Amino acid sequence: MKDLTQGSIPKHLIAMAIPMMVGMFVQTLYFLVDLYFVGKLGGAALAGLSLAGNAMFLIFALTQILNVGTAAAISHAVGRKDKIDANLIFNQSMMASSIVGIIVCIAGYFGASSYLNMVSQDLDTVGAGLSYLNWFIPCMALQFVMVSISAALRGTGVVKPTMLVQMISIIINIILSPILIEGWGTGYAMGIAGAGFASSISVVCAVIILCFYFKKSEKYISVDFSLWRPNTASLKKISSIGLPAGGEFFLMFIYMGMIYWLIQRFGADAQAGFGLGSRIMQSLFLPAMALAFAAPAVAGQNFGAEKFIRVRETFKWSAILTCSLMLILTLVCLYQAEFLVKGFVDEPEVVLISAVFLQMICWNFIPSGLVFTCSGMFQSLGNTWPALISTGTRLISFAVPALWLSQQSDFTIENLWHLSVITVCIQAAVSFYLLRREFRLRLPKEGEGNEIDLEAEKVNIMT
């Protein structure tokens, strides 16, 4: 357990974010390797991977309930020095993750075909997506246990072990991808199915290593099957914080699915181009997200310890660092979009669509950085409903105009990218307003309550 209620806040954020950034850099490398080999299989395979990959937003919605709820509840318990409650929450989270993982595995195999046929009219694309999902669904199911363990450790201020495990998992995936997709060294090429199989094998390895680490090393929280009996109060605590955060990703699943549905009239190349551009964008976001993900643990412990000035300072530094990184990424996409894209696919139309997407969508990177930061702060305060409201605002402000535009004779795919930039700016403004409101409601003004001396804290922050 690491005490984040003392010392420099920027140093805590950076110290926690660096191992996350390293892990996410390796994850970015995995995304790029996966895109490279699948891209060589053609536009239909790339579109199928993109459509199947969008299903991960639905999994993210479910895992985020456990992720955010577990991390926030445990960080509050750690701030109160309540080890018993921290262990109870962790074990309840593990119990829930095991049950949900089994349900997802069953539902995935029965519902994959229906989902793919709904968002694409191209038979080759649907076939490729189904081949991928049949081997990728075990990876989806195992995400729940891995997320519960990682969130629990993050709530106690420990991030390095999970980042190391994640890196090992991704390296395994990177090694297996060319072997299974193209048959390197075996002579048996599985095609796009190999990409899904590589991911599932790597996650199995990650779960085994994490369980071994917990058994041998972790002392503050531990697996205790006697605590797996459903505890209504603990499950309610996890879900009340996590459900709105999960709702955010569910709305993103709807948002991405809607775009795929709207652009299917432009063919498989359009879906492949959007999918490629989206994956590259998500890869670029990972370092900035690492900073935003570090904030809930830092702010959460200080909120639990009633050190409210440090909560506000955590937001300030997280926003500055995250948005600065997003500015750099904006400039990269503006001037090097084609360079980022053309190494992954040989089809000129797909390259063009992806490059244009990145050049236009990058204008929402800085507002997205602010959204990430605000979302992290909502988690730390134990109220993630404002983040869900913010995401809902974006979905509604996008969906209604997008459906109207799609009915016009001069509708183009670029109309959607312009609309997306506008709606993310609206979301950022709503998020910032709601966070300021939460601060007024939940954090006493400086000098009130149990707050520490402001001048002493300034000295702490600088040192």
CA distance 133 to 164: 27
Structure tokens given for 252: 């993103």
**Beta carbons of 52 and 115 less than 8 angstroms apart:** no
CA distance 14 to 176: 32
In degrees, rounded to 5, the angle at the alpha carbon of residue 106 between the alpha carbons of residues 173 and 53 is: 40
pLDDT of residue 29: 65
3-state helix, strand, coil in the chain (%, to 5): 85, 0, 15
pLDDT in tens, 235-290: 888 888 788 777 877 888 888 888 988 888 888 888 888 888 888 888 788 777 77
Q: Can you list the residues of the chain whose pLDDT is less than 50?
A: 446-463
CA distances from 264 to 35, 117, 123, 403, 404 (A): 21, 11, 12, 14, 16
Question: If we measure between CA atoms, which residue out of 245, 198, 207, 208 comes closest to residue 385?
Answer: 245
- DSSP type of residue 217: T
pLDDT of residue 268: 80
**Which ranges of 122-267 would DSSP assign to H, the alpha helix?**
123-155, 160-182, 192-216, 232-263
**Beta carbons of 63 and 367 less than 8 angstroms apart:** no
- DSSP type of residue 425: H
pLDDT of residue 461: 36
pLDDT of residue 456: 42
pTM value surpassing 0.75: no
CA distances from 96 to 71, 147, 229, 239 (A): 15, 11, 10, 11
57: enclosing H helix or E strand: helix 43-79
CB contact set of 108 (below 8 Å; sequence gap of 6+):
55, 133, 137, 140, 141
In degrees, rounded to 5, the angle at the alpha carbon of residue 393 between the alpha carbons of residues 388 and 396 is: 120
Rg (CA), the chain: 22
pLDDT in tens, 65-104: 888 888 888 888 887 888 888 889 989 999 999 999 999 8
Structure tokens given for 246: 């999960």
pLDDT of residue 218: 62
